[in-house]
Structure 1
């Protein structure tokens, strides 16, 4: 949410590692989650793990390679970092455009349509919740399909920038392999490419300012208005469901802390340990697609 990719991220440049749980949560199954959430309105908080079944690898899952994300300060302060990022993103974003929602995304959309789900707060930038049919979605860390000028604030589509980058760098995508599946893709539409020294970066067409994906990098803060809307969405529910997030960074963990402090049940569905486990009412260590599908199948309308 990136050289390594700038992660769509949080409020600190270096994310903490997931510490050992101070208290073990109650562990259970999808059926236990159904029993706990039945009759309650739910807000969902999702992370990269909810999109892995769509072919987008996560950052911190049990099988994920080590990553050292680029920070906002590196992006704006080092032309070489910035050039390397845009070269890689120029390839990787094409993969993002081809991805499709998986069963987990569709299950959350169905739960919202039936009145069970208040809405989705997602740490992802892939827009798959919207494509699956979810209506009330807060893209906490931004979205991959828009680019903003850091000088004048002008926003353009990533598709329009793609055309300009193609004109500035004819044949670049073909030179690194037109089949993006041969290139490692990261969750923010970045791709691993070694040869980027001659890539030409596009500037803002209005003021020649620096362009940046409309994604929150490490070292940036999530806009206050967006955070306030997310807290309000949590408060509008009777329970919080976390799906596919290790909750390593504070931008997501704060909502779990908020819900737990309010006495709200917290259900975490994630493969492997999360930083929010000590606060969970129930932890389901399983894949999000299977568990969310079961919730959609079994939870009655509220």
Structure 2
């Protein structure tokens, strides 16, 4: 049986809550979900594929460059903005996110723990070089003139990349310092969330009166670990999602529906 906005709002009476978000909060910004309702089957790239297979790296950089043209127009939606309002009003102590799109910060959220890193930062696997994604994609253009324009119609995919073909001749940018392999500063499948990052998420959770899950099916173990910690602390867990999640049977409050609509209504109710 579903719950109401009133029941969700009541969880804020004991103090600020912690919020964990997933890809479902960004779908209304035009970024597809990996596993949400209606999403096509798609397996995210693993770290071993990226580091061991030159074809995967070609596909990644080509897709990242082609997708960047459309991803640059992606903006935070009303759901992101609602969470920023909750923090500004003292109703939330921050956002823990599984997303790498940076939209929470752009929406005005001040305390953001990015469990899986930031897609906007590129780092070298061999030295301390860190660069801006747009800058590195400019190097891709210099190495592959006209490629992005020829593939401008490719379909955008999760994380802002695009489904491209014709990658055999793609030249991959390398580290300008040591010539090493460049990669996004994100947690790929096969990697673990850095200890300091998870500890920062625990700090938010330990200072919260409830944990609200927004737009995540909890298919990734890190989110499940946070739910287990909330349960051990004895604080309520709420779920806002379109489609089933791994926490549905354990949630104290469960709302089925779009995150944008529900969060917007929640902010209005709490005011």
Instruction: Indicate the residue corresponding to 1:281 in structure 2.
Output: 252
| 8 Å CA contact 2:31, 2:159 repeated in 1 | no
| 8 Å CA contact 2:212, 2:239 repeated in 1 | yes
Instruction: Indicate the residue corresponding to 1:224 in structure 2.
Output: 195
Length, aligned pairs only: 271
Point out which structure has higher relative CO (alpha carbons under 8 A, 6+ apart).
Answer: 1
The offset of 1:190, in angstroms, is 1.5
The offset of 1:283, in angstroms, is 0.8
Instruction: Indicate the residue corresponding to 2:242 in structure 1.
Output: 271
- Counterpart mapping for 1:1-302 below 5 A: 27-177=2-152, 182-300=153-271
Give me the CA root mean square deviation: 1.2
Question: 3-state SS of the aligned residue for 2:158?
Answer: coil
TM-score by length of 1: 0.87
Q: Distance in 2 between matches of 1:97 and 1:125?
A: 14
Q: Distance in 1 between matches of 2:90 and 2:11?
A: 17
| 8 Å CA contact 1:257, 1:279 repeated in 2 | no
The offset of 1:89, in angstroms, is 1.1
TM-score by length of 2: 0.97
| 8 Å CA contact 2:36, 2:217 repeated in 1 | yes
The runs of 5 or more residues in structure 2 that have no matched partner are none
| 8 Å CA contact 1:96, 1:126 repeated in 2 | no
**More displaced 10-residue stretch of structure 1: 211-220 or 36-45:** 36-45
Question: 3-state SS of the aligned residue for 2:246?
Answer: coil
| 8 Å CA contact 1:240, 1:265 repeated in 2 | yes
**More displaced 10-residue stretch of structure 1: 26-35 or 288-297:** 26-35
| 8 Å CA contact 2:11, 2:209 repeated in 1 | no
| 8 Å CA contact 2:210, 2:236 repeated in 1 | yes
